[in-house]
Copies of this chain bind each other. A is one copy, B any other.
Amino acid sequence: MDHPTPSPRSATRHKIEAALLEDIATGALQPGERLDETRLAERFGVSRTPVREALSGLTAQGVLVAGEKRGVRVAQYSRAELGQMFEAMQEIESVCARLASQRLTLLARSEIENAQAACAEAAARNDRLAYIKANEALHMSIYRATENPYIFELASDFRRKTGPFRAKKLETQEDLLASVESHVDLLAKIFSEDVQVAVDGMRKHMTESFMRVLAANG
């Protein structure tokens, strides 16, 4: 996903990382669950060394955390931590909104509107999974509109880390349609000529979104 290197520069390590990410995404590995190096090593049929490197890589990404006592665990966040994380994310997203609004090229606007259309369509079909993907794509297109790869990366990172928690708040079709509605409003503000309107719009959007997330993660 973020490793565009096609060269198999240490294939096993990346295979293990990918497999673990898959397990976490599918819920096979629960937040807080401990990972045992030796067990993983024999599961993948390799020695502890590459497992170790994969684990330390995922820890650096924030997917895993070094446990208080021993070993590494799947990251889990308290309500307070979630709040702080979302606060940080809100700041980043606001920056994105401002830059995107200031720099918006025709091409970027087109991609944002395409993504928005995909969201609306998925919501109309009540296709939850498609909606989540389209929603991510929509926000990504806003990040891209900043024309700054470092900010894009930052924002994407937060989106990855908060993904599992944000997903929880999209259950019924009403949720999806409400989300689309919220995005229509947001985009109108980003496309407005007034940068402050764009920033405030994004702030509001994020606040609404996070309030629902926190409510769903009580």
Q: Contact between A148 and B9 (Cβ–Cβ < 8 Å)?
A: no
Number of this chain's copies in the assembly equals 2
Q: Contact between B9 and A84 (Cβ–Cβ < 8 Å)?
A: no
- What number of A residues sit within 8 Å (CB to CB) of B? 22
- Residue A150 contacts which of B61, B66, B85, B149 (CB distance < 8 angstroms)? B85
Q: Cβ of A200 < 8 Å from any Cβ of B?
A: no
Q: Contact between A87 and B53 (Cβ–Cβ < 8 Å)?
A: no
Q: Cβ of A56 < 8 Å from any Cβ of B?
A: yes
**A153-176 at interface with B (beta carbon < 8 Å):** 154
**A22-61 at interface with B (beta carbon < 8 Å):** 52-53, 56-57, 60-61
| Complex: A61 Cα to B154 Cα, angstroms | 12
Q: Cβ of A124 < 8 Å from any Cβ of B?
A: no
Tell me which residues across on chain B come within 8 A of A87, comparing CB atoms.
148, 150-151
Q: Which residue of B lies closest to A87 (CB)?
A: B148
| Complex: A53 Cα to B56 Cα, angstroms | 8
- Residue A9 contacts which of B5, B60, B66 (CB distance < 8 angstroms)? B66
